[in-house]
Amino acid sequence: MSAASVAPASSARAAVGGVGLPLLRVRDLDVTYAGSVRALRGVSLDVPQGCVVAVLGSNGAGKTTLLRAISGTLPFAGGSVAAGSIQFAGRDLHRMAPAAVVRAGVVQVPEGRQVFAHLTVEENLRAGGLAAARRVRATARQRVYELFPVLRQRAGQRAGLLSGGEQQMLAIARALMASPRLLLLDEPSLGLAPQMVERIADVIAEIRRQGTTVLLVEQNAAVALELADTAYVLEVGRVALHGPAAHLAGAEEVRDRYLGGAAVKEGESAAAAKARIATDDGQRPVAAVPELVVEDLSVRFGGVAALEGVSFTVAPGSVHALIGPNGAGKSTCLNALTGVYRVAAGSARYGGIELTRLRPHRIARLGVSRTFQNLVLSPAATVLENLMLGRHRHGRAGFVTTGLRLPAARRERAAQEDKVRGVAELLELSAVLDRPVAALPYGAQKRVELARALCAEPTLLLLDEPAAGMSAEESARLAALVAQVRAELGISILLIEHDMAFVMGIADQVTVLDFGRRIACGSPAEVQRDPEVVRAYLGTPRREAGR
Amino acid sequence: MNQFVTLLANGVSLGCIDALIALGFVVVFKATRVVNFAHGSLVLLGAYVIGRVHENLGFAGAVLLSVAVTAVVAALVGAVLLRRVRLAEPGTLAVVTLGVDIVLATDLTRRIGTDLLTTGDPWGAKVVTIGTVHIPQTRVAAAVVAVVLVVAFLSVLRFTDWGVALRAAAERQETASLMGIRPGRVAAAAWMLAGGLAATAGLFFTAFPSPGISGSVGQAALGVAVPAAVLGGLDSTTGALVGGLAVGLTATFVAGYQDQLSFLGRGFGGVAPYLVMLLVLLVRPAGLFGGKETTRV
């Protein structure tokens, strides 16, 4: 899957017919977080004047990191540019403070809108225009109100009271108040209803028509490829593909990446098949694992329904995947099942016990373990120490016995360590048990999280985006591991994933969420063919309708 | 009844002074997320400058100089800390302000020594009598000045570019920097403002009927600022005003009715504001007007 297979580097520039230097030119950009984790590796990208350039990729691919590097906000996240250059209109943006970047003419709309909720709409716009000269502010405001008439009506309202779509409009409007030459948009369609996504897309097209260059970061490939002239696909910090947007939209590779066509066959032959054989042996006591029955589960945040009447059942010893685009309610569902969020209605019974009314630690004691979307490990502690934390619920030695190192406590610790070493072996972590977690590569850290959850000896394992930020090979390896875990331990696994390719290989059942509702349910193959699912993931690009 | 009305009037006027102190404390917290334990010493510094120079410069000149000096010192403290704002946790910086407080308070106490410093204000020990209610003139002046300053401050916060920038940065610092707002400048201005407010409060905090300017003023002022700001909600200016009034009223009433409250022991007035603070926090953990801290898993 090299970039050359879709388009050679030169044709991307030729496609837009640009002469001379592009407005924004990124070359061989390397970004690291906390001095060790490499989030971007040798990324090069051109944004020609007057164009819309899209950057696609899954969670953790480095899209937001790229925007942070351009807008100078990496230090807020503990990151820094290790190598490479970022040139805007011939000026070097590298090492400029965010405020200076804005004054140079590059303005970013952050991911998740980030409106100032306590300020009025009018004050939000004013904050956006602070960097611009006073005389141009009135013109900018005029333009913004023409683009978004609804904001004029809501001028005196607090921004926190606006709907998600209106907040996204406000976030874009606020950035336009600085009259940027280059607008950076981070996931403008995130969590918005389809109609609102279309309106935002129209606005972006209009902004471009008015002469502002746009760099658009999107997970929604359908929207991005329709708007963009050229597109780049990032994968684990590298540019995996790039070329004219129309070309990429029709490319098999892009479809595969988003719908996991190829992975099903591979997965079937390797990991999943192995798992099925192992469970069919009947060696493992599957009967001890109860069923998880979720019925009509609803979660609301204020007036926003994050989850609306979702039902599914995780059969004992099966792998059940919960998938859907960003903002579909997947993590919300997991947080409701583990007692982090209160549910508004519905039930989740595990072996007849109602989970929704229990506190998180009580749920953990029932044998429900989870991993987190973003790593939640103690970075300075060793792998062994992190895994020992997972044994917490199986320890009996108290403060005094442990502190005095009495024989009982020592015996218990030795027994616990044996268990931990067993799990570490299963997940190929034996060699790194004594290393601090922070020193491990990202993929290994994800495995440590999985191992910690397994150390609690769960009967139900909840995995929140285990493959996020992994390359294709890493995620295939992880899929095999998950299948192996299920086969050897006979436990149920509820898996949340964004990456369909990962899910298709290992899941027995798939439930698809979109905007908090269940839109499909069935075997991986059934779900993959479901027109609703294809629409949710790839949309129905108007451009392709005529083909 | 008569005593009640007198105490109410005195409590409100003392509350105005307390509100000025709390406001400065809150402005710094709002802009930088730093709990400024040196705020009490800034109040002491403001009072000290007035006490030292009023004989030479006259009262008005002394107040102007005090406001300027305190604002500059506050900005310097802020600048020293702000250099590290990106590197350190606000909690660590709060500990640094404790150090600054100790240095400032120790030095000022040494400078005051055994001198009897007074503010040299024109109101002296005169008392206004309305009906049967007696209020010191300084307290009337304090209330008037506090109201004027608070109205001016709130208008600045609401209507000026700086005010919008401060509120934006207070809510989302990173996003604010994407708007071209320079968090460093906003914070420096907030520190200066806090210094100016501290100096003004220092004047009335040490004028009649207080015993005068001594090294303990700093601790006393911090003892007012913390409960007032915390019960109001730390990051809310409205909260600081309400909190200041609540602390002033509590202290005045407990002192006024101390005969009836003697079963609680002597010096109960010192802890009463904290008691009110704890009661408020039991019901509203984020304070009266504080923003809720929420975390996402």
Give yes or no for residue A341 having a pLDDT over 80. Answer: yes
Enter the pTM of the model.
0.72
Q: Which residues contact A73 (CB under 8 A, 6 or more apart)?
A: A98, A108, B174, B177, B178
Pick B178's closest partner by Cβ from A98, A124, A126.
A98
User: Residue B112 is encoded by which pair of tokens?
Assistant: 């005051």
- How far apart, in Å, are the Cα atoms of B15 and each of A133, B9, B198, B247, B252? 42, 10, 15, 6, 9
CA distance A470 to chain B (A): 21
Give yes or no for residue A515 having a pLDDT over 60. Answer: yes
Q: Which chain A residues are Cβ-neighbours of B165 within 8 angstroms? A: 127, 130
Q: What is the CATH number of the domain that holds A383?
A: 3.40.50.300
A526: in domain: yes
User: Can you give the pLDDT at residue A148?
Assistant: 94
User: Can you give the pLDDT at residue A11?
Assistant: 40
Q: Are residues A346 and A440 in the same domain?
A: no
User: Residue A404 is encoded by which pair of tokens?
Assistant: 């005095």
Q: A174, B181: Cβ pair inside 8 Å?
A: no
A69: in domain: yes
Interface A-B, measured as beta-carbon pairs within 8 A, has a size of 78
Pick A102's closest partner by Cβ from B86, B172, B180.
B180
Which chain A residue shows the shortest CA-CA distance from B170?
A116
Q: What is the mean pLDDT of chain A?
A: 82
Q: Stretch A288-312: mean pLDDT, rounded?
A: 86
Classify A148 as helix, strand or coil.
coil
Q: Stretch A465-484: mean pLDDT, rounded?
A: 80
A269: in domain: yes
A473: in domain: no
Side-by-side strand order, sheet with A106-109: A106-109, A182-186, A213-218, A52-56, A230-235, A238-244
At residue A114, φ and ψ (nearest 5 deg) are: 55, 40
Q: Which chain B residues are Cβ-neighbours of A102 within 8 angstroms? A: 178-180
Give yes or no for residue A523 having a pLDDT over 70. Answer: yes
- How far apart, in Å, are the Cα atoms of B280 and each of A38, A134, B246, B252, B283? 47, 44, 11, 19, 5
User: Can you give the pLDDT at residue B84?
Assistant: 61
Q: Which chain A residues are Cβ-neighbours of B174 within 8 angstroms? A: 73, 76, 110, 114
Q: Are residues A91 and A2 in the same domain?
A: yes
Pick B179's closest partner by Cβ from A72, A127, A331.
A127
Q: State what percent of residues in chain A have pLDDT above 70.
A: 86
Match 């800034």 to its residue by tokens. B42
A322: in domain: yes
Chain A contact residues (CB < 8 Å to B): 71-73, 75-76, 97-99, 102-103, 107-108, 110, 114, 116-119, 123-124, 126-128, 130-132, 174-175, 178, 331, 335, 340, 372
Match 């003892």 to its residue by tokens. B223
Could you check whether the bond before residue A466 is cis, i.e. omega within 30 degrees of 0?
A: no
Separation between Cα atoms, residue A408 and residue A402, nearest integer Å:
8
Q: Which domain holds residue A37?
A: 1-7+23-48+57-105+217-259
A15: in domain: no
Pick B178's closest partner by Cβ from A75, A102, A103.
A102
Closest of A214, A191, A166, A131 to residue B168, by C-alpha = A131
Q: Are residues A76 and A224 in the same domain?
A: yes
Q: Where are the beta strands (DSSP E) in A454-523?
A: 460-464, 492-497, 509-514, 517-522
Q: Which chain A residues are Cβ-neighbours of B294 within 8 angstroms? A: none
Q: Are residues A337 and A354 in the same domain?
A: yes
Q: Which chain B residues are Cβ-neighbours of A113 within 8 angstroms? A: none
Separation between Cα atoms, residue A106 and residue A91, nearest integer Å:
12
Q: Stretch A250-269: mean pLDDT, rounded?
A: 56
User: Can you give the pLDDT at residue B250?
Assistant: 94
Q: Are residues A266 and A339 in the same domain?
A: yes
Q: Are residues A74 and A34 in the same domain?
A: yes
Q: A131, B179: Cβ pair inside 8 Å?
A: yes
ipTM score of complex: 0.85
Single out the residue in A226, A259, A292 at which a domain terminates: A259
CA distance B292 to chain A (A): 12
Sort residue B12 into left (φ over 0), alpha (ψ -120 to 50) or beta: alpha
Q: Which chain A residues are Cβ-neighbours of B171 within 8 angstroms? A: 116-119
Separation between Cα atoms, residue A189 and residue A165, nearest integer Å:
9
Q: Which residues contact A374 (CB under 8 A, 6 or more apart)?
A: none
- How far apart, in Å, are the Cα atoms of A380 and each of A39, A289, A385, A436? 20, 35, 10, 6
User: Can you give the pLDDT at residue A249?
Assistant: 78
Query: For the ranges A481-495, A532-546, B263-277, which has the lowest average pLDDT?
Result: A532-546
Separation between Cα atoms, residue A38 and residue A40, nearest integer Å:
6
Q: A98, B171: Cβ pair inside 8 Å?
A: no
Q: Which chain B residues are Cβ-neighbours of A79 within 8 angstroms? A: none
Classify A411 as helix, strand or coil.
helix
CA distance A128 to chain B (A): 5
Q: Which chain A residues are Cβ-neighbours of B161 within 8 angstroms? A: 126, 130
A546: in domain: no
User: Can you give the pLDDT at residue A303?
Assistant: 67
Number of alpha carbons in the 13 Å side-chain half-sphere of residue A457: 11
Which chain B residue shows the shortest CA-CA distance from A334?
B297
Q: Which chain A residues are Cβ-neighbours of B181 within 8 angstroms? A: 99, 127, 130-131
CA distance A97 to chain B (A): 9
User: Can you give the pLDDT at residue A33?
Assistant: 83
Q: A119, B86: Cβ pair inside 8 Å?
A: no
Q: A116, B167: Cβ pair inside 8 Å?
A: yes
β-strand pairing of A292-301 with A345-350: antiparallel
A75: in domain: yes
Q: Count of domains in chain A?
A: 3
Give yes or no for residue A49 having a pLDDT over 90. Answer: yes
Q: Are residues A90 and A3 in the same domain?
A: yes
Q: Are residues A225 and A87 in the same domain?
A: yes
Q: Which chain B residues are Cβ-neighbours of A372 within 8 angstroms? A: 297
Q: Which residues contact B203 (CB under 8 A, 6 or more apart)?
A: B46, B47, B50, B63, B66, B119, B121
User: Which of A114, A136, A341, A462 has the most B C-beta neighbours within 10 Å, making it the best mutation to test the interface with B?
Assistant: A114
C-beta of residue A116 within 8 angstroms of C-beta of residue A159: yes
- How far apart, in Å, are the Cα atoms of A354 and each of A293, A343, A493, A494, B134? 10, 12, 18, 17, 66
Classify A405 as helix, strand or coil.
coil
Length of chain B: 297
Q: Are residues A320 and A381 in the same domain?
A: no
The DSSP annotation for B142-174 comes to: HHHHHHHHHHHHHHHHHHSHHHHHHHHHHH-HH
Give yes or no for residue A19 having a pLDDT over 70. Answer: no
Helices and strands (H and E) in chain A: how many = 24, 20
Which chain B residue shows the shortest CA-CA distance from A108?
B178
Task: State the DSSP code for A158.
Answer: B
Chain B contact residues (CB < 8 Å to A): 86, 161, 164-165, 167-168, 171-182, 291, 297
Match 């009661």 to its residue by tokens. B279
Task: State the DSSP code for A269.
Answer: I
Handedness of CA A142, A145, A146, A152 (dihedral sign): negative
The DSSP annotation for chain B comes to: -HHHHHHHHHHHHHHHHHHHHHHHHHHHHHHH----TTHHHHHHHHHHHHHHHHHHHHHHHHHHHHHHHHHHHHHHHHHHHHTTTTTS-HHHHHHHHHHHHHHHHHHHHHHHTT--B----TTTT-EEEETTEEEEHHHHHHHHHHHHHHHHHHHHHHHSHHHHHHHHHHH-HHHHHHTT--HHHHHHHHHHHHHHHHHHHHHHHHSTTS--B-TTHHHHHHHHHHHHHHHHTSS-HHHHHHHHHHHHHHHHHHHHTTTTTGGG-TTHHHHHHHHHHHHHHHH-TT-SSPPPP----
Buried b (16+ CB within 10 A) or exposed e, A69-102: bbbbbbeeeebebeebebbbbeeebeebbbbbbb
Single out the residue in A436, A457, A478 at which a domain terminates: A457
User: Can you give the pLDDT at residue A401?
Assistant: 74
Separation between Cα atoms, residue B79 and residue B82, nearest integer Å:
5
Q: A98, B177: Cβ pair inside 8 Å?
A: yes
Q: Stretch A329-334: mean pLDDT, rounded?
A: 87
Separation between Cα atoms, residue B124 and residue A517, nearest integer Å:
73
Give yes or no for residue A499 having a pLDDT over 50. Answer: yes
Q: Are residues A417 and A500 in the same domain?
A: no
Q: Are residues A227 and A92 in the same domain?
A: yes
Separation between Cα atoms, residue B266 and residue A147, nearest integer Å:
67
- Better-scored residue on pLDDT, A409 or A20: A409
A75 pLDDT band, cuts 50/70/90, is: confident
User: Can you give the pLDDT at residue A70?
Assistant: 95
Q: Which residues of chain B have pLDDT under 50?
A: 294-297
Q: A73, B182: Cβ pair inside 8 Å?
A: no
Q: State what percent of residues in chain A have pLDDT above 90.
A: 31
Single out the residue in A196, A230, A259 at which a domain terminates: A259
Which chain B residue shows the shortest CA-CA distance from A183?
B178
Closest of B125, B178, B223 to residue A180, by C-alpha = B178
Q: Which residues contact B68 (CB under 8 A, 6 or more apart)?
A: none
Give yes or no for residue A3 having a pLDDT over 70. Answer: no
- How far apart, in Å, are the Cα atoms of B215 and each of A67, A502, B8, B107, B117? 52, 68, 29, 9, 11
C-beta of residue B241 within 8 angstroms of C-beta of residue B248: no
Q: Are residues A283 and A419 in the same domain?
A: no
